[in-house]
Amino acid sequence: MEARYNLKSPAVKRLMKEAAELKDPTDHYHAQPLEDNLFEWHFTVRGPPDSDFDGGIYHGRIVLPPEYPMKPPSIILLTANGRFEVGKKICLSISGHHPETWQPSWSIRTALLAIIGFMPTKGEGAIGSLDYTPEERKALAKRSQDFVCETCGVSMKSALLPLSSSSSQADVEARELARQISFKAEVNLPGGATADEDQGKNLTEKPEQIAVTNPEIETTDVPSAEQETPTPAPGANVSRSPRQRRAQQQQRRIPASTGLIQVQQHAVNGSHTGSAVLIVVLTLALAALLFRRLYLANDYIFDYEL
């Protein structure tokens, strides 16, 4: 297999290292790449104890992108389990449906533990999730032990080691990891919604409701077709008259500034107010001058008569 891949590729180096680390099966999980494809792995996980999946052994595929570990893998279950759909990419915070919550420090082992930890949780309408009754899940758990993969030939009866006294530590680690991943997904999404809830809201809410309820998006009035004629793209081959070309060039050279226009309007309004005050003052001064001259004229006439 090494001769088929570029050993200098970060993804190839990482996957070969993880394949060596996960070579030996444990009592809770096991995963290895296919013989002819390093970017497709088959895994086996044991159902978490004290749950509807107790006693079940589930098989699936992990398809990794060439950009791994910078991008998350896609996870597909091949065994009926009542929590995830069979043969469909499931939606988890560590899967390809949510690259925004993926961290390059996570590995295939992290994905296996997350699958175990997420199995007892509610699907809540996420992509690839199911909400079977506890009785149906327990029946599928017993039936899963007879599953044999047609691609890799692994039998569930011998895929994992028997449970031991140290198995409870792996169960605790799986639950804690699922809790941490869920918490990180809630922090990364606005409003504290989980990734599955956020996706359900995006599918059910109308665009008008999203625009109103999101305070970070400023709504603007969109002109209708009657109010404004759409402007053709710069690269479009449209014939224009010389006057239209000059007007377009002038608009490009002198962009309109809303703030400058407002300042000019305030200046004009201030000049108008000053002119009005000046006119009133001059009018009052002229009236006072006329009154004084009339007063002096009357006083002169009165002295002359005497």
Ordered DSSP codes for 227-274: T-PPPPPTTS-----HHHHHHHHHHHHS---HHHHHHHHHHHHHHHHH
d(CA 292, CA 286): 10
Q: Which domain holds residue 8?
A: 2-208
SS3 of residue 35 by DSSP: coil
- Phi, then psi, of 89 in degrees rounded to 5: -65, 120
Q: In this structure, is residue 23 part of a structural domain?
A: yes
CB 7 within 8 A of CB 13: yes
d(CA 87, CA 18): 24
pTM score, two decimals? 0.60
- Phi, then psi, of 23 in degrees rounded to 5: -65, -40
Do 159 and 66 lie in one domain? The reply is yes
For residue range 73-126, what is the model confidence (pLDDT) as tens digits? Answer: 999 999 999 999 999 999 888 998 889 999 999 999 999 999 999 999 988 888
Q: What is the pLDDT of the chain when averaged over all its residues?
A: 78
For residue range 173-192, what is the model confidence (pLDDT) as tens digits? Answer: 777 877 777 655 455 544 44
Domain count along the chain:
2
Indicate which residues carry an active-site annotation: 91
d(CA 74, CA 81): 18
Q: In this structure, is residue 213 part of a structural domain?
A: no
Q: In this structure, is residue 127 part of a structural domain?
A: yes
For residue range 216-269, what is the model confidence (pLDDT) as tens digits? Answer: 434 344 344 444 444 444 444 445 667 777 777 777 665 545 555 565 666 656
Do 135 and 270 lie in one domain? The reply is no
Report the pLDDT value the prediction gives residue 149, as an integer from 0 to 100: 97
For residue range 117-163, what is the model confidence (pLDDT) as tens digits? Answer: 999 998 888 888 999 999 999 999 999 999 999 999 999 999 999 98
Do 304 and 171 lie in one domain? The reply is no
Report the pLDDT value the prediction gives residue 292, as an integer from 0 to 100: 86
For residue range 10-40, what is the model confidence (pLDDT) as tens digits? Answer: 999 999 999 999 999 999 999 999 999 999 9
Q: In this structure, is residue 263 part of a structural domain?
A: yes
Do 203 and 278 lie in one domain? The reply is no
Do 169 and 297 lie in one domain? The reply is no
pLDDT classification of 295: cutoffs 50, 70, 90: confident
Q: What is the distance of C-alpha 217 from the center of its chain? A: 15
